[in-house]
C-alpha cells in the first residue's frame, strides 16, 4: 500500500510540474508574443539615439504636408522650446526632460507667417516674425513687444548684445531685400548702417556684441568686407578683418561658442561662369583679437550648401546635412584639437528635410518633420509623415565601437 501511495504521489508531482511548465509557456506566449527572439535578447545599444515619445495630441495636426520643417528650437536652460515650421496649431511645443510636454499658448503669440526668428534671452524666448513677442516659460504666457517703427515687413535675423535685442528688419524690393537695424531695450532705436543694408545678413550673439556675416544669397563678389560686428556700448558697426576670412558663400554653418564665431561649409553659385562650388573649409573668429583662424578640413564632411542644421556644443560644433549622394551625414568638429569626427548614426533618425539641432544640458536634440522619401517628401506612401524627435546623450555624440554589432535600439523616452 505504501508503495502504491508513493507511486501516486510521484505521478501527481510529475503532472503538477508538467502543468506548471505548460502554464509558464502559455504566459510567455500570451503576455510576450511568441517568446523572446534573439534580437530581444541582444543588449541595448548605449552609444545610440533614442526617439522621444511626443504625445499624439501635440503632433496629430502636424502630419503629411503640415509636419514641421525649418522650425526653430532653443534651450532655455530648463526646457526646449520649438516654434514655427508649420501653419497648423498648436504653433509651439515645450519639452522638459525627460518626458514632459505641453503646447505653447496661442493667445498673445505672434501671428506665424512662415518667416521667423527664435532666440532665448534672459527673461524667456523672443519670437520675431511680422510682429514680435516674448514668451515667459515661468508663467506660460506671451507679451507683445512694441511694433518696430521702420518701414520693414518682417524680421530676417535677430540676436542679443548683452541686454539689447538687435533685429534685422527687412522689406522686399524689386531688386532684392533691403534691411535696416533696430535695437530694443525697452524702446526701439534705429541702429546706423551703411553697406549692411544690402541683403539679408545672418547674425549671431557674441557676448556684448553681435556678429553679422555674409548674405543669405550672396551677390557681393566685389565687396571688400563680408562681415561686421555690432558694438553695443558705442552703438556702431565695425568691419571685420578680412585676413583668412572665409570666401563668399551661402547656407554655411554660422555659430557662436560664446567666445568666438565659427563659419564653415556652404556653397556658392557664380552666375557669370554658370558654375557652383561646394565648400568643406571654414574659419574661427576671435572678437578680442579681430582675427580669423582657418579650420582643418581633413575628415570634414562634404555637405556644401546642403547643411540641414548645426549647433555649437561646449567645445564642439555639430553639423547635419546631406552629401552629394543625398546620404544623411553628421559630423563633429572639436575646437581644442581642430579635428573632425563622425556623429554617431546608431539607431539614428532617417533623413529629414530642414530639422533643428539643439544642444541641451545633457546632449543633443534633433527635432524633425516629414522624412525625405523619394521622389516626393510628401508622398502618401512615405512612412511616418509626422513630427518626431530624437535625443543623443553627450557621451555618445561621437561614433563609438563599444556597442556590440548585434545590440538593439533603446526604447523611446
pLDDT digits (tens, 9 = 90+) for 102-115: 999 988 888 776 56
Q: What pLDDT score was predicted for residue 382? A: 60
- Among 32-36, 62-66, 302-306, the least confident range: 32-36
CA distances from residue 262 to 73, 285, 335 in whole angstroms, order as listed: 19, 6, 10
Look at residue 23 in the predicted model and tell me its pLDDT.
40
Which strand ranges, in their side-by-side order, compose the sheet holding 282-286? Answer: 253-256, 261-264, 282-286, 291-294
- Tell me the per-residue pLDDT of 358-402, one tens digit each, with 9 for 90 and over: 999 899 999 987 776 655 544 444 655 778 899 999 999 988 878
* CA atoms of 14 and 283, how far apart (whole Å): 78
What is the percent of the chain where pLDDT is above 70? Answer: 81
Q: In which region does residue 60 sit, left (phi positive, over 0), alpha (psi from -120 to 50) or beta (all else)?
A: alpha
Can you give the pLDDT at residue 276?
Answer: 82
**Cα–Cα dist 291/269, whole Å:** 27
Look at residue 36 and tell me whether its pLDDT is greater than 50.
no
Give the chain's mean pLDDT: 81
Q: How many domains would you assign to the chain? A: 1
Question: How many Cα atoms are found within 13 Å in the side-chain-facing hemisphere of 134?
Answer: 17
Q: Terminal CA-to-CA distance of the chain, rounded, Å?
A: 64
The pLDDT of residue 338? 98
Asked whether residue 342 is domain-assigned, the answer is no
User: What is the percent of the chain with per-residue pLDDT over 90, rounded to a whole number?
Assistant: 40
For 63-75, what is the mean pLDDT? Answer: 83
Q: Is the pLDDT of residue 131 over 70?
A: yes
Looking at the domain assignment, is residue 22 inside a domain? yes
The pLDDT, as a whole number, for residue 167 is 93
The pLDDT of residue 403 is 87
Q: Please, which residues have CB within 8 angstroms of residue 400's CB and are 6 or more apart in sequence?
A: 47, 344
Strand order in the sheet with 80-83: 72-75, 80-83, 93-96, 100-103
Beta carbons within 8 Å of 134's beta carbon, 6+ residues apart: 121, 123, 124, 125, 126, 127, 142, 143, 144, 145
Which pLDDT score, from 0 to 100, does residue 268 have?
Answer: 81
pTM: 0.85
In a domain, 12, yes or no: yes
Q: Per-residue pLDDT tens for 231-260?
A: 988 888 888 998 999 988 888 999 999 899
pLDDT classification of 119: cutoffs 50, 70, 90: confident
For residue 20, the enclosing domain spans: 1-35
Q: Please state the length of the chain.
A: 413
Higher-scoring residue by pLDDT: 302, 402 = 302
Position 26 in a domain: yes
3-state secondary structure of 316: strand
Residue 328 has pLDDT above 80, yes or no: yes
Asked if the structure places residue 29 within a domain, the reply is: yes
Domain for residue 299, yes or no? Answer: no
Q: How far apart are CA 81 and CA 212, in angstroms?
A: 24
Check pLDDT > 70 for residue 407. yes
pLDDT given at position 207: 84
Helix residue ranges, H only, 33-95: 56-59
Give the confidence band of 32 by pLDDT, cuts at 50, 70, 90: very low
Q: If pLDDT is split at 50, 70 and 90, which confidence band does 197 have?
A: confident
Question: What is d(CA 70, CA 113) in angstroms, rounded to the nearest whole number?
Answer: 13
Tell me, yes or no, whether 223 lies in a domain.
no
- The reported pLDDT for the residue numbered 223 is 52
The mean pLDDT value for 191-196 works out to 78
pLDDT at 317: 97
Q: Is the pLDDT of residue 11 over 70?
A: no
What per-residue confidence (pLDDT) applies to 219? 53
Residue 14 falls within a domain, yes or no?
Answer: yes
**Residue 383 has what pLDDT?**
55
Amino acid at each position: 500500500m505504501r508503495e502504491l501511495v508513493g507511486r501516486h504521489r510521484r505521478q501527481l508531482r510529475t503532472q503538477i510540474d508538467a502543468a506548471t511548465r505548460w502554464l509558464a509557456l502559455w504566459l510567455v506566449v500570451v503576455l510576450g508574443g511568441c517568446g523572446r527572439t534573439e534580437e530581444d535578447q541582444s543588449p541595448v545599444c548605449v552609444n545610440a539615439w533614442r526617439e522621444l515619445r511626443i504625445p499624439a495630441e501635440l503632433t496629430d495636426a502636424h502630419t503629411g504636408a503640415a509636419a514641421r520643417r525649418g522650425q526653430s528650437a532653443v534651450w532655455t536652460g530648463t526646457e526646449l522650446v520649438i516654434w514655427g515650421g508649420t501653419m497648423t496649431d498648436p504653433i509651439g511645443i515645450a519639452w522638459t526632460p525627460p518626458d514632459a510636454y505641453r503646447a505653447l499658448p496661442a493667445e498673445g503669440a505672434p501671428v506665424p507667417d512662415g518667416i521667423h526668428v527664435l532666440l532665448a534671452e534672459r527673461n524667456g524666448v523672443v519670437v520675431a516674425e511680422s510682429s514680435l513677442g516674448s514668451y515667459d516659460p515661468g508663467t506660460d504666457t506671451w507679451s507683445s513687444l512694441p511694433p518696430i517703427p521702420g518701414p520693414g515687413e518682417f524680421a530676417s535675423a535677430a540676436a542679443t548684445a548683452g541686454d539689447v535685442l538687435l533685429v534685422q528688419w527687412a522689406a522686399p524690393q524689386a531688386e532684392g531685400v533691403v534691411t535696416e537695424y533696430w535695437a530694443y531695450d525697452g524702446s526701439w532705436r534705429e541702429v546706423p548702417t551703411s553697406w549692411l543694408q544690402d541683403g539679408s545678413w545672418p547674425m549671431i550673439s557674441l557676448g556684448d556684441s553681435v556678429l553679422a556675416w555674409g548674405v543669405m544669397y550672396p551677390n557681393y563678389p566685389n565687396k571688400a568686407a563680408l562681415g561686421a560686428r555690432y558694438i553695443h556700448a558705442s552703438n556702431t558697426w565695425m568691419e571685420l578683418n578680412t585676413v583668412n576670412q572665409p570666401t563668399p558663400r551661402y547656407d554655411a554653418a554660422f555659430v557662436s561658442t560664446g567666445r568666438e564665431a565659427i563659419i564653415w561649409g556652404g556653397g556658392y553659385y557664380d552666375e557669370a561662369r554658370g558654375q557652383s562650388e561646394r565648400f568643406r573649409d571654414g574659419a574661427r573668429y576671435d572678437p578680442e583679437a579681430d582675427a580669423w583662424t582657418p579650420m582643418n578640413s581633413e575628415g570634414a564632411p562634404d555637405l556644401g550648401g546642403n547643411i540641414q542644421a548645426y549647433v555649437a556644443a561646449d567645445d564642439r560644433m555639430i553639423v547635419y546635412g546631406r552629401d552629394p549622394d543625398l546620404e544623411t551625414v553628421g559630423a563633429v568638429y572639436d575646437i581644442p584639437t581642430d579635428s573632425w569626427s563622425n556623429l554617431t548614426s546608431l539607431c539614428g533618425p532617417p533623413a529629414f528635410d530642414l530639422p533643428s539641432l539643439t544642444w541641451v544640458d545633457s546632449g543633443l536634440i534633433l527635432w524633425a518633420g516629414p522624412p525625405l522619401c523619394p521622389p516626393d517628401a510628401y508622398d502618401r506612401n512615405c512612412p511616418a509623415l509626422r513630427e518626431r524627435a530624437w535625443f543623443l546623450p553627450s557621451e555618445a555624440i561621437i561614433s563609438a565601437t563599444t556597442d556590440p554589432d548585434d545590440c538593439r535600439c533603446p526604447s523611446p523616452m
